[in-house]
Structure 1
Amino acid sequence: MAAGSGAGTGARFRDRLSRPVVAVPLATGLGAFAVAVGSLLADQPVLASALAAAGTGLTAWAAVRGSIRAQQPVDAAMSSVSDGPMWRLPHRLQLFTGRATDLAKLTTTLASGRRPDLVALTGMGGVGKTSLALEYAHRRAPETSLTAWIPATDRASVVTALAALGGELGVAADDPEAAARATLDQLVHREPWLLVYDDATPPAVADLLPTTGDGEVVLTSRREDWSSWAQLQPVAPFLGPDAVRLLLDRSGDASPNAAGHAAALAAMLGHLPLAVDLAGGYCRRYRITLAAYISLWRERGLSMMPTDESQVLGPNEVATRLSSDRLARGDLAAVQLLRLLSVLAPGQLPQEVLTADPSELPEPLATAATEPTTWHALLTRVADAGLIRVQPGRLWVHHLVQEVQRDAIRRGAPVHRRLLRWRRDPTARWPLARWATLAVRLITAQFPEERHRVELWQRCSELRPHAEALLADGSKWGVAQLDTARLAYRVATYRYDTGDGDAAAELLTGVLGDYRAVLGDEHPDTHRCLNNLALVEHGRGGFDTASALLTAVLDTYRRSLGEDHPDSLGAMNNLALVRHDQGDLDRAGELYAQVLTARRRVLGDDHPDTIASVNNLGTLRRAQGDLDAAATLHTQALDAFRRTLGDDHPDTARALSNLGTLRRAQGDLDAAATLHTQALDAFRRILGDGHPHTVTATNNLVEVLTEQGDDSTAHRLRQRLSLPDANP
């Protein structure tokens, strides 16, 4: 059941009544009554607040809150120190899986010799911090004189638990605070010992951590600001094999390909241990396969995470662990941030996407994104709630956090709070379509489209997962056709430039249909899309299709923009490329010459498009047999590209390759080998081994080396890229 739903309230009250309430002496006559009522009202914060305001006193209220927070989700293994070394240590998990590396690191760190030694296990909700600490505690308990479990969600919980522990140890004190401190002082007389502070925050444990004694302290926390208190040990989601193993063990699924379905489901759940555990438990209880669960998850989402299926310590709803309810009430900027992140891809996002143009954002998120210190404080609050991770210039979100937020958006605010929320937060009524549209526009604005700036490809690579996630789900969520088409156009250009012509063609075909439907056949965006689709088809070998498209585009551009417009010249250049590859060298030469003359006049000699025209004309002269003219043109192009774009640019590498081919045609194999080697090194450095340009450059060099008789080097090059050897 989703967190916050009305159903099941009675069950929660009965569960509270079935658990013992441990209280410490209170300073007021109403304290015992407050504790009892507070235990029953753990899910009723408004009434509990009213009780606090009714005059029971600060000490009584601290005890109420402590007794509420101290409720254990499973029974303690031992509740009396006299019975053995474990105090309120929850039962050991029967299906604890993986984490061998984490356990070894924790053991090594705590054995470093410092006493007392403190380690903070940090990470998002549901990642397995508590399970890891619990397993360590059970392994360590036989070697200690005391292993104690301290709920540490807030200070009152810590005070209550430590005071109760002190009662077991014979500590006498007048009030809970004094009892808690006396308990810590008493630990110096016991050795060794282990205290686990679960779900801690720095304010909750400030001056309530032991400072002396032969002991160890393990804290579990969503927050990361422990470096001045303890050694940090981040806890990440499961590794793939561990998640698969837990799913198979929990579900009992022995059907064919159960392991494959477990791997798929684990990936869908982001390898989050809590979610993996709940999914496996559901399958076992209701006797369904993992494949069936996958279908149900896709259809029903979080409703497939019931509260009573977990073997993991702590609240059992994913929604409870990962919802924005852990944020302070009224933190609208944080809630808006999470809603916006929910429609993007999981994983990393450059912060600049959200801060580059804050005017696009709703208030108060826009104001927060405008001022750096306010923005940093906002990210810290959300990170402290365990809902995102923050890195320099980046933030990271898990996709189950996103699913929880999307579910909350779909459900909207409860009826009794709706009017109040709408007055404070106009985005409370925004549907998924509104958030997704905002995300599409932000990503589109940040997605570079400058073809000649390779340094921007890294940004394209970072934004591509978010763009593709929005393209996959945008229409389903109701994003306007034109918004997704404009984003798809930019992604297609990047995919083409990085060598994925098939993906670029598919994207551009869809964009063209959208542009024609929304903008019409005569809109400039439609024409640009046609031009780029023709360029992609040419690269894939579809010369006839590319020729027909480019002829139509060129006629339109000449009519609407004029002969000398850069778009007209680009279409003319692309048509010349197609004519060249079709073997019509005369017509290609005429077009190349026209484009070069016009680009020199309109763009200047040092514009990359002008230099490309010089390079293209050199290629044509080589095909026509005029090697001297070709050599001059290719040399000019290479020098210009190096001067304007530098050595680390694909256009420079292509110019190197073209000049190398020309030198080979002239019979200068040594010069050709040098140039092709430089081109191959550049392509590998810029584009990687798998890019089509890199493969072509490898083949060019192999052919020259073979002509030189260097078969061993040629063979090694082919092996590097898994290319077959040339026929003998």
Structure 2
Amino acid sequence: MVAQREPAQSGPPGQESEHFVVVFPGYHRAWGSWIAHKLENHGHRTTLQRWDPDREQPLEEALGDLQLATGRVVLVISDLFFQLGPRTETDWSSVLRGFVSEHAGEFAAVNLTNRELLPATAVLEPVNLWGVGEDEAERRLLNRLGLRPRRLRNLPPAGSSRYPNEPPAVWGEVPRRNARFTGRDVILGDLQQQLMDAEHGAAVCTLVGTAGIGKTQIAAEYAHRFAPDYDVVWWVNCDQRNTQREAFSSLAGELGLGGVAEVGERVRAVRDTLRRNEPSGRWLLIFDGWEEPEDAITYLPQGGTGHVLITSRNQNWRSSTDIKPITAFRRAESTGYLMRGAPHISVDQADQVASEFQDLPLQLAQAAAWLGQEGMEVPEYLRMVRGVGLTRLESHSMPDDYPVSSLTSWSILLNKLRKSEPRAVELLSLCAVFAPGRIPLGLARGIPGAELPDQMRWISSDGAGWARALDSLVSYSVLTRESRGPAGDGEQEDSVHIHQVVHSVISELTGGRKSEVYRDIVHRLLVEADPGAPNDSRQWPRYAELIPHLLASEAHSSREGRVQEMLLNCLRYCYTSGEYTLGAELAEAVREKWEEFLDVAGPRLGALTTQQGNLLRLAGRFREAQYLDTFRRDRLLEIPGADEEALVEATSCLAADLRPLGQYEDALKLQQEVVETTRRLYGPEERTSLLAQHNLAVGLRLLGRYEDAYDVDLDTLRKREQVLRARHPNTLSSGNACARDLRLMGRYQEALARQELGMRLHLQVLGPQHPQTLLARHNLLLCQRRAGTSRQDMATAMASLLDQQEQVHGRRHYSTLALLTDYGNFLREHGDLSQARELLTEAEEGFRRLLGPAHPVSTAMQSNAGLVLQAEGERDGALNMFEQALAGLTSLLGADHPATLGCALNTSGGRNLSEALDDAFELSRDTFERARETLGADHPLTLSCMVANAADLRGLRRRDEARAVEAEVLERLTRSLGAQHHHTLSARQRTRPYWDYEPYLG
């Protein structure tokens, strides 16, 4: 690959401009670019030449080709340079002493290593740039080439002009550079060009290929090789959804986004900051092992000038990103790799090994390590790997197209280590108990020796033995070493990384996963890694790393109390961090094991049930939570003298399950029991009692008893302000509840004033993306809409909130469905019927799927659908929807529930438009009377029913009665809402009122 550079500006009189061919191996591309840029800055012309001649081409001929261009050749050399091909030391020494010596004036070199080079390299008189600063490196370069400094002004900056020894300002957990990385130069070059040529906001490329094909290695090499092109390089491990979120969100701190505590908000803040090219548009994100394209919208900045690189096995990425298929090595790459690792083998022998392992990079790495370490001859090695017929592993981590001989080679390696370095096999057996990927193995050094089996106590006492064992595994390419912190953090901060294919093999061959000894050690290690603070968002990254290893290590089978408490802490982390789906899956697996040996009515299983029920409920799996909590409560009731605290907790959980299932009366009765019991056990102002009282108000609100709910919520708020203080999350939750009650009571201005204050506190205390803050923002938008506040950007605000809801909860979560409904109602009211229909249909279908068709929410959603049909002129269809909703709600909630009354108001309007005037009048009059009794004479819904009734009287030509009702209702509306409120203005214009249904599950 030759990159022609534009001619530099002419130099000053007295010094001619020269031409240089800057030759570099792909590994040192950044240095080649920097040297060319510096020479151009001094008025010279350059040609960039990546150089890796085929092994079949004689070296003299390959070097001669470099002289076809005019000017001197500048070689960028290091110990890696002389491995190109690979060539033997004899080959290089011969050509350096012969051809290069004869043309010495046409060659120059810069040296990038402090390692010893071939003696014959002296003919190049290489100038050493290793370990020096940029100014000194520039001075040495010019001096070696005999050039006078003459920096020119107003030159356009080169794209990769940063000095290669200066790392990007932000560098996030990119794997160490693999000094054995071979080939792939064409792929890397094409990849860089593809990203550079992409339109802004679309520079996303996915490397797709089977496991072990080298996708991660290519991505890591890209990050290192092209690092000078970027100011921010961030690596995101996507093995698990929660680790992906934590790794991506941790970039917030590096970007200076301080004060953002909640992980979902950090994700959004990072994405938006990069989209705005802050602090720089030169950023690179690498998502390693990302298999879920549907999550792309959450992370990928939709804009900006940066680049995104993804590695995946999922071909479905082609629908949203550019795809670059990654296949096995080309044969020349395979043989070159093998010969570098094992210099004693011939080209033909390397070809035989490559053929045996089908050019698969992961397996070639192990073969090269074995051949190089042992000095074994290839015929003997091939006889070994072909001589034992191991069957294919059952694990799905092993690709179907992997050669069976690769399993044999791993078996041979392990047998060798058992003899020469048995402690390495013991560490490998420990790794087999973990999940593949990153393993915090160094924490094992912190386990007290007394807690380890006799044969394993060396782990905590023998540092030298630990280092030797790890070094052996690294040298044989079994695992790679990673370090979380800067040097000096200690061995306990070290972690290792093991590929999933290797993990699959060693799990079978070492038997570590089946050993109780190794499992117990890993369980103690996980206990050691537990920060013990699942509610502290600063500890969430640590918990995110623990989660993948819990089930893999069978920690849920442990009968050790500390291990069980660690598992409960991980579930609490899932609850507080919003990882509801992941937590529910983990809790289900834990329960399956714990029920085998724990008392079903005991405290440990009770704590698990509480966490599992909470997670299921918040994930929208209400019936599963109900079944779980009902079973627990029934068992406790059967036990004479059962623990009263456990029983009240179970009752509280069951009440919480029944509320979203629409069983409002039953839930309220249970919650009243909880309130009475907690007050007796703990007192009326204790946290548990106040939580019970808060939930009592939720039940009252669902039943439409808004004033009763407000009285309870206001009392709870006052007590929480005293006991917990004003900025406690529970106190803020009570503030939200009071504002909601006020809005539902029709006291819109009071509701808005309280919610505005609460919103500011939520942002300060919990951050913008916390689920409770999103709920507060949703309530604020509804308060603003009901209060008639002029907001030109209301639609934008709702769309923005919807985007955040999706990030935190997903599109099908009940809180997102509620926002879709309110957004759709707003759009319908303002004339965007097409999008309104789309959103309301999606929300209705979502609620039916979540709750079933015979639920109050699902039933009431038909009324909103009817309003859209009515606005579109479909009167008959609208009336049919209204009538169905009214009949269903009357059956489910009763005729006096506010939701039923609102639906009745819409139904009377539908009848009026369909010219069923008598029926319309009878319904509007009955609805008005019921609303006045239930909600009060001045409630907005009551007054809307009065306006509707006046319209029906006028339709029946009872004009005097209509005028009397209109006069009264206008006076009441003006007094309660104000003369300029939209309800008042609509009534004055005799516009038929309607009532939006706002879904609420508690």
TM-score (norm. length: structure 2): 0.38
**Secondary structure of 1:709's partner?**
coil
Quick one: distance in 2 between partners of 1:591 and 1:497? 24
| Cα deviation digits, residues 589-620 of structure 1 (max 9, x gap) | 22112101100000011111111111111111
1:648-688 CA distance string (max 9 Å, x none): 11111111211222222234474653443343222122222
Q: Does 1:689 align with 2:811?
A: yes
Match of 2:595 in 1: 475
Where does 1:57-456 land on structure 2 (aligned, <5 Å)? 105=326, 107-111=328-332, 116-118=336-338, 184=345, 187=346, 193-196=351-354, 200=367, 202=369, 205-206=372-373, 208=375, 269-270=395-396, 272=398, 312-313=404-405, 329=422, 334=427, 337=430, 341=434, 351=440, 358=447, 362-363=451-452, 368=459, 398=504, 401=507, 405=511, 408-409=514-515, 436-438=558-560, 441=564, 443-447=566-570, 449=572, 453=576, 456=577
In structure 2, how many angstroms separate the alpha carbons of the residues matched to 1:201 and 1:592? 70
The answer as to 2:782 corresponding to 1:661 is: yes
Instruction: Read off the aligned partner of 2:808 and give its amino acid letter.
Output: I
Q: In structure 2, do the counterparts of structure 1 residues 192 and 548 end up closer, same or farther at CA, with 3 Å as the change threshold?
A: closer
The answer to whether the Cα contact below 8 Å between 1:695 and 1:721 also exists between their aligned partners in 2 is yes
1:696 and 1:588, CA in 2 relative to 1: closer, same or farther beyond 3 A? same
Could you say what secondary structure the match of 2:700 adopts?
helix
Q: Contact 2:556–2:564 at 8 Å: present in 1 too? A: no
CA contact (8 A) 2:571 2:583 kept: no
User: How has the CA–CA distance of structure 1 residues 607 and 452 changed in structure 2, closer, same or farther, with 3 Å as cutoff?
Assistant: farther
Moved more, 718-727 or 620-629: 718-727
Matches within 5 A, 1:418-567: 436-438=558-560, 441=564, 443-447=566-570, 449=572, 453=576, 456-457=577-578, 465-476=585-596, 478=597, 481=600, 482=602, 483-512=604-633, 521-567=642-688
Distance 1:385 1:546, change over 3 A: farther
Looking at structure 2, the residues matched to 664 and 696 of structure 1 have their Cα atoms a distance apart, in angstroms, of: 15
Contact 2:414 2:425 in 1 (8 A): no
Alpha-carbon distance in 1 for matches of 2:466, 2:689:
45
Match of 1:580 among 684, 701, 705: 701
Counterpart CA distance in 2 for 1:678 and 1:704 is 14
The answer as to whether partners of 2:337 and 2:368 remain within 8 angstroms in 1 is no
Aligned to 2:151: none
Aligned residues of 1:452 and 1:608 also touching (Cα < 8 A): no
Aligned CA distance change for structure 1 residues 569 and 677 (closer, same or farther; 3 Å): same
Find 2:731's aligned residue among 589, 592, 610. Answer: 610
- Whichever residue aligns with residue 404 of structure 2, its letter is V
Amino acid at match of 1:701: Y
1:702 Cα deviation after fit = 0.9
Letter in 2 for 1:580: R
In the aligned structure 2, how far is the partner of 1:218 from the partner of 1:721? 63
Q: Which residue of 2 aligns with 1:596?
A: 717
- Measured at CA, do residues 487 and 401 of structure 1 come closer, stay the same or move farther in structure 2, by a change above 3 Å? farther
* In 1: Cα distance, 2:480 partner to 2:697 partner: 51
The answer as to whether partners of 1:338 and 1:402 remain within 8 angstroms in 2 is: no
RCO higher in structure (CA 8 A, sep ≥6): 1
SS of the aligned residue for 1:629 comes to helix
Instruction: Look up the SS of the partner of 2:592 in the other structure.
Output: helix
Change (3 A) 1:465 1:357: farther
| Aligned mates of 2:654, 2:416 — CA distance in 1 | 44
For 1:635, give the aligned amino acid: E
Query: Against the structure 1 CA distance between its residues 370 and 534, is the aligned structure 2 distance closer, same or farther, given a 3 Å change threshold?
Result: farther
Superimposed CA distance per residue, residues 154-183 of structure 1 (whole angstroms, 9 cap, x where no aligned partner): xxxx9xxxxxxxxxxxxxxxxxxxxx95xx
- Alignment of 1:644 onto 2:765: yes
Q: Do residues 676 (structure 1) and 798 (structure 2) align?
A: yes
C-alpha displacement at 1:488, in angstroms? 4.2
| C-alpha contact 1:486 1:511 (8 A) present in aligned 2 | no
8 Å CA contact retained: 1:618, 1:631: yes
Contact map agreement 1:358 1:370 (CA 8 A) in 2: no
SS in structure 1 at match of 2:768: coil
1:726 paired residue number? 865
CA distance in 2: counterparts of 1:433 and 1:685, whole angstroms: 30
**Cα separation, partners in 2 of 1:329 and 1:191, compared to 1, 3 Å:** closer
Letter in 2 for 1:726: A
**1:179-212 deviations in Å (ceiling 9; x for gaps):** x95xx4xx37x6994435886473652383899x
Conservation of the 8 A alpha-carbon contact between 1:489 and 1:511: no
Question: How far 1:562 moved relative to its partner?
Answer: 0.7
CA distance in 2, matches of 1:322, 1:192: 23
Residue type of the alignment partner of 1:270: H
Give the C-alpha shift of residue 485 in structure 1.
Answer: 4.2
Q: Match for 2:747: what amino acid?
A: D
CA contact (8 A) 1:698 1:717 kept: yes
Query: Following the alignment from structure 1 to structure 2, what is the Cα–Cα distance between the partners of residues 689 and 446?
Result: 28
Q: 3-state SS of the aligned residue for 2:727?
A: coil
> How large is the Cα RMSD of the aligned pairs?
5.6
Residues 444 and 486 in structure 1, CA contact (< 8 A), matched pair in contact too: no
Alpha-carbon deviation of 1:575?
0.7
Structure 1 partner of 2:50: none
1:709 and 2:831 are equivalent in the alignment:
yes
- Contact 1:538 1:578 (8 Å CA) reproduced: yes
Does the residue aligned with 2:865 lie in a helix, a strand or coil?
A: coil
Matched-pair identity in %:
18
TM-score by length of 1: 0.50
Q: Is the alpha carbon distance of 1:325 and 1:608 closer, same or farther for their aligned partners in structure 2, counting shifts above 3 Å? A: same
What SS does structure 2 have at the residue aligned with 1:202? helix
Give the CA deviation at 1:118: 3.3
Which residue identity does 2:786 align to in structure 1?
A
The answer on whether the counterparts of 2:444 and 2:459 sit within 8 Å (CA) in structure 1 is no
The structural deviation recorded for 1:539 is 2.5
Q: Tell me the CA shift for residue 633 of structure 1.
A: 1.6
- SS at 2:802 equivalent: helix
Unaligned runs of at least 5 residues, structure 2: 1-208, 215-324, 358-365, 386-390, 485-494, 519-552, 847-863, 870-1002
Q: What is the letter of the counterpart of residue 452 of structure 2?
A: E
Q: Secondary structure at the match of 2:572?
A: coil
Q: In 2, Cα distance between the equivalents of 1:374 and 1:406?
A: 20
How many residue pairs were aligned? 460
Q: Alpha-carbon deviation of 1:551?
A: 1.7
CA-CA distance at 1:361 after TM superposition? 10
> Deviations along 1:23-46, whole A, 9 cap, x unmatched?
xxxxxxxxxxxxxxxxxxxxxxxx
Higher Rg of the two aligned structures: 2
